[in-house]
Homo-oligomer: A and B are copies of this chain.
């Protein structure tokens, strides 16, 4: 019966096919859960503090009462922004007024807003050689030319960054953004040390290119000390910082924030309008952050560390370091596996998924969408220790058989 409406905007042309996914339905279901699921970059269900979140919401609603605070708020619940300001001071050495913080619908919304604010179609954006798919999605959405820069165990390599900027300029493109996840980079798990942070920042400042610093899962640190953020080292205001409470509380509840200079926030206000973040989540997560988060992080990080160690042990027991390597992050939810080029992890995935073992291929994190089949992200956060041991053993058997 449906008369096809002809769209004047050509979405199929402007949209890379890898943005469309391989879904049979329009909005695909959540990916089928597998028994040994190394794709799942969330804490396992038993690690979610559901009952304390409920307590927190109840308490905060009692405090707020039947007041105007129940109504929408464009910038986000002020007590929460004040708490974020204090926390960033303590943990990231940042000196930020709550006026420069915007609550967002996860950190993804923050990245999306900054991309929309700065990027015209064809502008260049610099990222790591492998990078979080949600960010790639936002950058492609605004038709950026995305340049991946090589990294070592300290993250993005300064010389390579400088070369890439020169290449972009020689292509007569404007470079609008450098996107960085300096701590437990997603997917590679690398962390930039303080010197590397300073070197990269200095290049960005000298070239006048804004940075988005994604704090990612930096609070899920179970070894070593918190490092100052790049934003804290930047006295020029070109660094925008995004953070999130979603993964360390309950992922579906989506509560992030963005820290930006006045000039960037002014543009974002135009783009975003007056529609504020969900207040329900803001109340619950704020009160949880005040009353429960420090203890929750202790439990969560202890559990994640155990699972990470199990993963490392399983990798060592099953793989020969001659043809495989993996990153060894001091925190986070995943490690990055690299195998010899003759091993095709895409082909092996076809077999492994029949045995309920799955992982995200390097291709999913590839800035230009090209195939990268000798690397994969292995998340240990969503599996039990037993599942990690069995899953890695199955994977290893398939690789050795290959």
A263: B residues at CB distance < 8 A: 2, 4-5, 7
The residue from B3, B71, B274 contacting A252, defined by CB atoms under 8 A apart: B71
A273: B residues at CB distance < 8 A: 134, 137-138, 141
Q: Are B72 and A1 in contact (CB under 8 A)?
A: no
Interface-facing stretch out of A164-172, A230-238, A345-353: A230-238
User: A55 to chain B: closest CB distance in Å?
Assistant: 10
A68: B residues at CB distance < 8 A: 30, 33, 45
Nearest residue (CB) in B for A55 is B58
Nearest residue (CB) in B for A264 is B5
Interface residue A321 (Cβ < 8 Å from any Cβ of B) = no
Q: Do A120 and B9 form a contact, CB below 8 Å, given A75-B27, A263-B2?
A: yes
Q: Are A48 and B70 in contact (CB under 8 A)?
A: yes
Interface-facing stretch out of A193-201, A279-287, A333-341: A279-287
Q: Are B54 and A66 in contact (CB under 8 A)?
A: no
Q: Are B275 and A105 in contact (CB under 8 A)?
A: yes
The residue from B8, B28, B134, B281 contacting A174, defined by CB atoms under 8 A apart: B8
Q: Do A5 and B57 form a contact, CB below 8 Å, given A252-B73, A254-B72, A280-B278?
A: no
The residue from B48, B105, B138 contacting A278, defined by CB atoms under 8 A apart: B105
Question: 0/1 per residue, A13-56, Cβ < 8 Å to B?
Answer: 00100011000011110100100000000100110101000100
Q: Are B118 and A9 in contact (CB under 8 A)?
A: yes
The residue from B28, B75, B141 contacting A74, defined by CB atoms under 8 A apart: B28
Q: Do A71 and B251 form a contact, CB below 8 Å, given A8-B174, A15-B270?
A: yes
Number of A positions contacting B (CB below 8 A):
84
Interface residue A117 (Cβ < 8 Å from any Cβ of B) = yes
A266: B residues at CB distance < 8 A: 26
Q: Are A238 and B71 in contact (CB under 8 A)?
A: no
Which residues A239-258 have CB closer than 8 A to chain B? 250-254
Interface residue A267 (Cβ < 8 Å from any Cβ of B) = yes
Interface residue A294 (Cβ < 8 Å from any Cβ of B) = no
Q: Are A120 and B8 in contact (CB under 8 A)?
A: yes
Which residues A166-184 have CB closer than 8 A to chain B? 174, 176
Interface residue A265 (Cβ < 8 Å from any Cβ of B) = yes
Which residues A92-125 have CB closer than 8 A to chain B? 99, 102, 105-106, 108-109, 117-118, 120, 123
Please report A residues at the B interface, Cβ cutoff 8 Å: 1-5, 7-9, 11, 15, 19-20, 25-28, 30, 33, 42, 45-46, 48, 50, 54, 57-58, 61, 66-75, 99, 102, 105-106, 108-109, 117-118, 120, 123, 134, 137-138, 141, 174, 176, 205, 208, 210, 235-238, 250-254, 261-267, 269-271, 273-276, 278-281, 284
Interchain residue pairs with CB less than 8 A apart (18): A1-B236, A1-B237, A3-B237, A7-B263, A9-B120, A9-B267, A11-B267, A19-B270, A45-B68, A50-B70, A54-B58, A70-B250, A134-B273, A134-B274, A137-B274, A138-B273, A141-B273, A253-B278
